[in-house]
Chains A and B, each alone.
Chain A
Amino acid sequence: MKTPVQFRLNGEEVAAFAESGANLLDVLRESVGDLSVKGGCWQGTCGTCTVLVDGAPRLSCITLAESCAGKSIETAGGLRRGAELHPLQSAFMERFAAQCGYCTPGMLMAAKALLDRNPNPSREEVVDAICGNICRCTGYEPIIAAVLDAARGDSRRRA
């Protein structure tokens, strides 16, 4: 049984017919076609699928898609403005904060959720902000450094 779901994705209105009970991750990837969101566990334990729903970080794999009707969703695919990268994206590049890159979209959104609410976080606050996102490659330090750089405005926007 399919249910219509309509919401704003990265500023644009989108609509899809979702299988009843479907999670937001699968709807974004399979129905809407936003492949920037990645899935790691479908259990709500790894954080890879993190998106923002009305500014709050959410695990899209355990979010009921139809509960997002009318809401504003942000994903990593919507971070850059044309050729201009978001400061977090530039900072991640400069700090080598990605290796395999699979956790990166979720990390970026978790970091954005922090900086949107707290533009000047301490290191502890950055650690707490990403503590729900597992990275198997970097050991987290480059990611923490990148988020702090972005907060300090240390990284220039560039394509």
Chain B
Amino acid sequence: MLELRKDIFADERDDNLKEVGKPTQRQDMLGHVTGTSAYYDDHRFANLLHLKILRSPHAHARIRSIDDAAAARAPGVKRIIRGADVPVNLNTLLSLIQFGKDDEPSLATDVVRYKGEPVVAVVATSERAALEALALIRVSYEPLPAVFDVEEALKPGAVSVNAAYPKNTFEYYNKYDHQKLRFGDADAAFAQADIVLDERYQMSPIEHAPTETNGSIAVPDTNGRFIVYTSTQALFFSLDTAAKINAMPSNQLHFIGGTVGGGFGGKVDTLTEPLAILAARLTGAPVRHRLSRHEEMQFGSPRGGERIYIKDGIMRDGRIIARKVRAYFDSGAYTRLSSYAAVKCAAHIPGPYTIPNVSADVYCVYTNRTPATAMRGFGVTALDFGLECQMDKGAVAVGMDPLEYRMLNAYRDGDMKAHRREAKNCALIECAQVAAEKASWPLRDEFRRMSSRTGGGVQRAGGGADRTRAPAPAPAPATRPAPVTPQRVSYERPAAAPAQSAPPPPPRTPSPPPAVQPAGSTHGAPRFSSVFGTRRR
């Protein structure tokens, strides 16, 4: 059962909690066990039509011609939909918050960029009729060279995957081809380190595989409106995306969702609603667009495979003095949410540890694979896998207990983080101590006495070479206004003189590029500051 350790940070707590720590029944549990929870497909319509998609068999190819005449005449077929029929046939999900260029068609017209990309839609009176009509469509393709590896995709002369991003990287603020983090001088610190640990971590794409596949039913309502039953996790994202692609005002759409048969991030991309709505408009009938299990695997977004290089400079006493990370997110052929994954990854480096010299370059890369998207902590989970494997290897390298190694290097209150924020409310040490207690994992006395509230912000005790502290960040220019963020408390502090007993050796500090450029953004969404990287206007 859940145990709340109120003895820890007791003097800071104000948590006589009414809900946390006590089981509360789900409001839909009775519906689930009686089979009455209504998923999108639990609605019946007498004249329901079925939409099925013809998909590219090639990872990369030019479409020379499409012959759908026989399919259009096939029994039960009401309508064939081509790319030219889609009112706005280029989109990216996060265009709704002005993040990224429209890059993905609902139906491909001239080029296909991944195996499974939609090319033609058939709308028919039964699933079988639609599937049989698909088999009658003849598409002539000219296969093109394809690239499947993130580092190959970044080499000069690589196959260009995505027309909106011809160099195979997402562009942040229309200018930067990756996310960059610089703190101190990692390269100089490696030269001083006793041990250098350089490792590569590779993830496979992971498919959410919800038991309910992606799907939606669009139903003509009165007065030109449409009701859309959908499996989406992101009701308003999906509504606005569908409105944009259909060039209709959003108030003509009534989206009904709420019961999702498993999402995990794989039901935010609005894969089925736009074409279902278009088909309903073109036929005047309710239309269901449901992904088969095979389509869910092939066409539905996975979490993209990540390749992460982590290089640590470690002193013999266990202190990590430098960490350099180079990470590549395989976005597949289109952006979907991978642009955001790279931002989250950069924000997470170097993990919950105080490391005085940190360097990171994080790329969102295009390849001819199924476009990747959100999944359960995407951007962070794979990075944590790499970081924690790296911590285990580092512990072995210095001959230290892996838990103690982490505690030694953990953030403490007052430490300066690589993102130039002061660490506050740290608790990794206490978590480690409780975990050790629960697992009967022996910790030395010194580690059992450690606290997140002491030892931070100052030169850490411990023998060996100086822990190279980062130089104080350049004083904020006087002209910079105080941050105005109505939704967030500012954690900014005025630049304080760093409490160091010895001046740091002069590292070669290349002047770091500004952390992020707020490029004249007109967005009205300050809560997405993590995406835009700044709360300064």
Contact = CB atoms under 8 A, between A and B. Distances in A.
Contacts of A135: 211
Contact of B264 (A102, A134, A136): A136
B35 interface: yes
B101 to A, nearest CB: 33
Contacts, number: 96
B34 A38 contact: no
B261 A36 contact: no
Contacts of A126: none
A69 interface: no
B212 A33 contact: no
B209 to A, nearest CB: 6
B292 A42 contact: yes
Interface stretch (B21-29, B461-469, B484-492): B21-29
B259 interface: yes
B262 A102 contact: yes
A19 interface: yes
Interface residues of B, number: 34
Interface in B34-55: 34-39, 41-42, 44
Interface string A14-43: 000001000000000010010111111111
Interface string A43-71: 10110100000000000000000000000
Majority DSSP secondary structure for residues of B touching A: loop
B33 interface: yes
Contacts of B42: 35
B33 A38 contact: no
B377 to A, nearest CB: 16
B424 interface: no
Given A42-B292, A48-B211, A136-B211, A104 B35 contact: yes
Q: Which of A30, A89, A100, A137 has the most CB of B within 10 A?
A: A100
A57 B145 CA distance: 49
B73 interface: no
B100 to A, nearest CB: 29
B260 interface: yes
Contact of B211 (A35, A85, A93, A103): A103
A101 B259 contact: yes
A100 B33 contact: no
Would you call the interface of chain A mostly helix, strand, loop, or mixed? loop
B409 to A, nearest CB: 31
A6 interface: no
A38 B212 contact: yes
A30 B34 contact: no
Given A38-B39, A100-B262, A101-B259, A43 B293 contact: yes
B213 A98 contact: no
A101 B213 contact: no
A99 B212 CA distance: 13
Contacts of B28: 101
A103 B128 CA distance: 25
B39 to A, nearest CB: 7
Interface string B244-275: 00000000000000011111100000000000
A77 B35 contact: yes
A108 B36 CA distance: 13
Given A35-B42, A40-B293, A42-B293, A98 B29 contact: yes
A80 interface: yes
A36 B262 contact: no
A136 B34 CA distance: 19
Q: Which 9 A-B pairs have the closest CB atoms?
A: A36-B35, A101-B32, A102-B261, A76-B35, A41-B293, A89-B33, A98-B32, A105-B35, A35-B42
9 contacts: A33-B44, A35-B38, A36-B34, A36-B36, A48-B211, A77-B34, A98-B29, A101-B32, A136-B262
Interface of B: 23, 25-26, 28-39, 41-42, 44, 126, 128, 208-213, 259-264, 292-293
Given A35-B35, A100-B210, 15 more contacts: A35-B38, A35-B42, A38-B261, A40-B212, A45-B293, A77-B34, A77-B35, A77-B36, A92-B32, A93-B29, A98-B29, A101-B32, A102-B39, A102-B212, A104-B33
